[in-house]
Amino acid sequence: MAYLELNNVSKTYGKGANATEVLSNINLQIEEGEFVAIVGFSGSGKTTLVNLINGLLQPTSGEVIFKGNPITGTSHERGVIFQNYSLLPWLTVYQNVSVAVKETFPKENKKFRENRVKEYINMVNLTPAIHKRPKELSGGMRQRVSIARALAMDPEMIIMDEPLGALDALTRGNLQDEILNIWNKDKRTALLITNDVDEGIYMADRIIPLRPGPNATLGPEFKINIDRPRDKTSLNDDPEFKKTRNGIIEYLMEIGEERTTTETIEYTLPDLEPKYFD
Ligand SMILES: Nc1ncnc2c1ncn2[C@@H]1O[C@H](COP(=O)(O)OP(=O)(O)OP(=O)(O)O)[C@@H](O)[C@H]1O
């Protein structure tokens, strides 16, 4: 049995005539210690998939199994870095991370917790902003707080829902490396949802495309046969990188075209009498 398993998972939103099956028949196995990336189009169901694995949603059919047991709710063992930072606006950077650390390590002493909060804030280079509130931070800084908060909780599995999308290239690159360091050093398991193929190749062991929804399914996996640690600057010239990148992009273009040629959208216009005003 794999560390995480999704067996024939489907998720439908709505009921009766309004029902839409967003995900259909998703099968995914992730082994302990693996880093898997899922790439997909906007609106294809990526966040729905993350929430099923996180335990915020239950599948309509099929099963999501974590370490041999069905997932029935959220757990500290699986830490999620969300797309939209979800910080508590009335708390400072320190306090936002501290709340999470307190919840995860209730038995540890104050000094341990303080050190842990400071360590993770420092890791995302936010020590100078430690006493600021979210409204005083840029979008990128807020996302860094949310990364520090998730990682400070010491999750066994790190689940990332497009966590770096809003960041500038330099910050994005640094945080990719920080996440990889933590994953590697502490032998975590990681699932990254991204729309950036290069990011997926740089970080993951395997990339799996999510075919566009409704009825989104997972496409064939692409193994990344590039030794670690990977070097960003020389990656562009690596023949294996080019081959993998081309393969994934061609596949995404193919399914993207299918989507635009087979999709029929019907719009019902409101049946309104024109109204004239004097
Ligand atoms: N609670 C809900 N009720 C009804 N429909 C929903 C709900 N949540 C999501 N959807 C629909 O399911 C589809 C997939 O949404 P989801 O957020 O999982 O996609 P996504 O790939 O993460 O999108 P994006 O890349 O834009 O963030 C969308 O069409 C969305 O409108």
Give the whole-angstrom CA distance, residue 98 versus residue 108. Answer: 13
**Residue 86 scores a pLDDT above 90:** no
Give 13 Cα–ligand 1 centroid separation in angstroms: 9
Q: Give, using CA atoms, the residue closest to atom 3 of ligand 1.
A: 13
User: What angle, rounded to 10 degrees, do the helices at 139-152 and 169-185 form?
Assistant: 0
pLDDT of amino acid 75: 92
The pLDDT tens digits for 13-39 are: 999 989 999 999 999 999 999 999 999
Instruction: Find out whether the peptide bond into 214 is cis, omega within 30 degrees of 0.
Output: yes
Asked if residue 42 has its Cβ within 6 Å of ligand 1, the reply is yes
**The two three-digit tokens of residue 125, written as one number:** 């280079």
Task: Among 9, 22, 60, name the best residue to mutate to test ligand 1's pocket (greatest count of ligand atoms within 8 A of Cβ).
Answer: 22
**275 — pLDDT class (breaks 50, 70, 90):** low
Task: Among 10, 11, 13, name the best residue to mutate to test ligand 1's pocket (greatest count of ligand atoms within 8 A of Cβ).
Answer: 13
208 burial type by CB count under 10 A (0-12 exposed, 13-18 middle, 19+ buried):
buried
DSSP state of 65: E
The pLDDT tens digits for 89-103 are: 999 999 999 999 999
Q: Give, using CA atoms, the residue closest to atom 7 of ligand 1.
A: 13
Which residues sit opposite 69 in a β-bridge? 66
Give the whole-angstrom CA distance, residue 7 versus residue 18. Answer: 25
Task: Among 15, 38, 46, name the best residue to mutate to test ligand 1's pocket (greatest count of ligand atoms within 8 A of Cβ).
Answer: 46
The pLDDT tens digits for 129-152 are: 999 999 999 888 898 899 899 989
Q: Residue 96's closest CA among 56, 137, 156, 54? A: 137
**271 — pLDDT class (breaks 50, 70, 90):** low
The pLDDT tens digits for 164-216 are: 887 888 888 888 998 998 898 878 999 999 999 999 999 999 999 999 878 88
**The two three-digit tokens of residue 130, written as one number:** 């430690």
Question: CA-based diameter of the chain, in Å?
Answer: 75
Q: In whole angstroms, what separates CA 168 from the centre of its chain?
A: 18
**Residue 56 scores a pLDDT above 80:** yes
> What was the ipTM of the complex prediction?
0.96
Mean pLDDT for the chain overall: 90
Residue showing tokens 């670690």: 228
pLDDT of amino acid 274: 56
Share of the chain above pLDDT 70, in %: 93
Give the whole-angstrom CA distance, residue 101 versus residue 79. Answer: 12
Work out which ligand 1 atom sits closest to the CA atom of 44. Answer: 21
Is residue 181 within 8 A of residue 158, CB to CB? The reply is no
**The two three-digit tokens of residue 93, written as one number:** 């950077």
Is residue 132 within 8 A of residue 144, CB to CB? The reply is no
Give 255 Cα–ligand 1 centroid separation in angstroms: 19
Q: Residue 124's closest CA among 85, 78, 71, 75? A: 85
Secondary structure of 137-167 in HEC code, one letter for each residue: CCHHHHHHHHHHHHHHCCCCEEEEECCCCCC
Q: Give, using CA atoms, the residue closest to atom 15 of ligand 1.
A: 45
What backbone torsions phi and psi does residue 79 show, to the nearest 5 degrees? -100, 135
pTM assigned to the model: 0.88
Asked if residue 142 has its Cβ within 6 Å of ligand 1, the reply is no
Q: Residue 23's closest CA among 1, 50, 2? A: 50
- Least reliable range by pLDDT among 36-45, 47-56, 168-177, 251-260: 251-260
**The two three-digit tokens of residue 163, written as one number:** 């966590």
